[in-house]
Amino acid sequence: MRFQTLSPIALLAAAVEGYWINEIQVPETIAVGSPFTIKFLTAPSPVKIDSVAMTFGLVTTEDLLLPQLGAELGSLFLANQDAAQGPFDRQLVMRGDAKHGETTIRIANFRKQGADQSVAIENWQVNVTIADSTSSKFVSADPIATH
């Protein structure tokens, strides 16, 4: 009797249906009214993921509760081919009326996943400083809720 073996890498590749966003990074300091880069890192997912939509908000008051995002910063849609393996980035523009100082950016990540294409929602947030220039140092957002 012969047994066929598969390497762990082959098993992982067979289980990968798509990729999901597992890290979001933004500049530590962002200039008012200026474009800034958002970096996304992905990881293999055993579940098929389609149609990722993300909305970004700037927290403007300390008593803003989840799932409120705050003042709109922008949105993006990632079609299946855009959410492929590997890091990628997108540009947003910081609001012209943003006040200097420490604040929070909140992110809502909506995606369809699995065979039944059910909707999943993840909320992320990251603390940044609004200033006169944008830094080259990036900080990672923390996932704060999944629905």
Q: What is the pLDDT of residue 9?
A: 45
Number of domains in the chain: 1
Q: How far is CA 7 from CA 4, 10, 19, in A?
A: 10, 5, 21
Question: Among 98, 90, 44, 47, which Cα is nearest to 70's?
Answer: 98
In a domain, 31, yes or no: yes
Question: Among 115, 50, 39, 45, which Cα is nearest to 79's?
Answer: 50
- Per-residue pLDDT tens for 41-77? 877 777 676 667 888 999 877 766 666 788 899 998 8
pTM of the model: 0.78
**DSSP category for residue 83:** G
In a domain, 3, yes or no: no
Q: What is the pLDDT of residue 16?
A: 52
pLDDT for 130 beyond 50:
yes
Q: What is the pLDDT of residue 64?
A: 66
Enclosing domain of residue 49? 8-146
> Which domain CATH number covers 131?
2.60.40.1930
Name the 3-class secondary structure at 26: strand
Half-sphere exposure of 108 (CA within 13 A, CB side): 19
In a domain, 26, yes or no: yes
